[in-house]
Structure 1
């Protein structure tokens, strides 16, 4: 996933194209291209495996959002495992174009929407629809979570929604609503990742 602001993304067309491997589900072991954008890398396989072990039973039929989608590692994994619909949001035009192409390759354009927009602007200006699972892996050290979390509370979260947050281990979480309950937490290298149950 990307760790620099999308607006600073640089396309390096001379670099060898990277690939994202989908771990399980309908597209198990399929690989799709990742755009050559500075600071973009997928959530590591072992982190994805742990996360989807946590939420495996909630994925089928779920409406999900991948709000800093980058490579799309989290959202594509969810679709592969049976999510009903995914909204991918990323401010980078290059990332959004590649995500659209990857969805077409996988035959999933009818189950997903790609939004080329700042995630905070998207949440603040679009009519909300309740999501069952939200993936948040924003660029590091930019204060995105403090902006995004209050916006999610404006009708974007279904009752008993799950919110996944991935961040650098030295960072502190912003203040969370009282009905956000931490149910899982783990560290992998310089990352810490958490799963919250939203009990409205």
Structure 2
């Protein structure tokens, strides 16, 4: 009997996964669905970023409300929850991805995590209208689709005083040369933001931002 071909290409070897770096669920694996080409934030990048965030927040995770607008594998949102964030809201549009996030949430008994199947930009607008505010927002959208220029202006209305945004992209954000202080070279959507830290790992450019 002839075997049927899989309905989507499968990567050889064990399924791709990442791991939670720190906190209560340290070393817990998070599966990454092959079918949708998810690109989770690499472990070493998350380690660096959460060190930055911890320094800025003085490790006060138990009072932190977090929003992960392009959740994907959940690597960023579950990392924050593992470190004791008071609440984490994860948003993704893909049904299979959302079901996987719900599975991980149930496995971890993460009652302080909320998973939503919804459009990221629409969710941000709705949350702002309702007056919701967050201490930390994660933006790791698909590259080359101009999501950051649309999402960052919305985040300005979602942050609490002193709040932070983590933004990941395939290219450095166009802040220009900080030493020259050339404000005219910064696009309008980026001008309200101050770059706290930035780095690059391979093709991943990652940034920590706060409002000016």
Render the CA deviation track for 1:146-193: whole Å, top value 9, x for unaligned: 211222233x11111000110012664753465421110101111211
* Equivalent residue number for residue 158 of structure 1: 160
* Equivalent residue number for residue 182 of structure 2: none
Report which of the two structures shows the higher radius of gyration computed on alpha carbons: 2
Q: For 1:43 and 1:175, locate their aligned partners in 2 and report how far apart those are by CA, in whole Å.
A: 27
* Equivalent residue number for residue 209 of structure 2: 196
Q: For 2:190 and 2:205, locate their aligned partners in 1 and report how far apart those are by CA, in whole Å.
A: 20
Give ranges in structure 1 of 5+ residues lacking alignment: 1-10
* Equivalent residue number for residue 112 of structure 1: 113
* Equivalent residue number for residue 102 of structure 1: 104
TM-score (norm: length of structure 1): 0.85
Q: For 2:189 and 2:149, locate their aligned partners in 1 and report how far apart those are by CA, in whole Å.
A: 9
* Equivalent residue number for residue 40 of structure 2: 42
1:38 CA drift (Å): 2.5
- How many residues align? The count is 187
* Equivalent residue number for residue 89 of structure 1: 91
Distance verdict in 2 for CA 1:20–1:128, change over 3 Å = farther
Give ranges in structure 2 of 5+ residues lacking alignment: 1-6, 176-186
RMSD of equivalent CA atoms: 2.1
TM-score (norm: length of structure 2): 0.80
Higher relative contact order (CA 8 A, sep 6+): 1
Of 162-171 and 43-52, deviating more is: 162-171
Q: For 2:10 and 2:143, locate their aligned partners in 1 and report how far apart those are by CA, in whole Å.
A: 26
* Equivalent residue number for residue 54 of structure 1: 52
Q: Given that residues 141 and 171 in structure 1 are in contact (C-alpha distance below 8 angstroms), is that contact kept between their aligned partners in structure 2?
A: no
Distance verdict in 2 for CA 1:22–1:147, change over 3 Å = same
Render the CA deviation track for 1:23-53: whole Å, top value 9, x for unaligned: 1110111113222332202111111111011
Q: For 1:101 and 1:63, locate their aligned partners in 2 and report how far apart those are by CA, in whole Å.
A: 22
* Equivalent residue number for residue 175 of structure 1: 188
Distance verdict in 2 for CA 1:140–1:171, change over 3 Å = farther
1:121-160 alignment runs, 5 A limit: 121-126=122-127, 127-154=130-157, 156-160=158-162
2:102 aligned with 1:71: no
* Equivalent residue number for residue 187 of structure 1: 200
Q: For 2:78 and 2:15, locate their aligned partners in 1 and report how far apart those are by CA, in whole Å.
A: 18
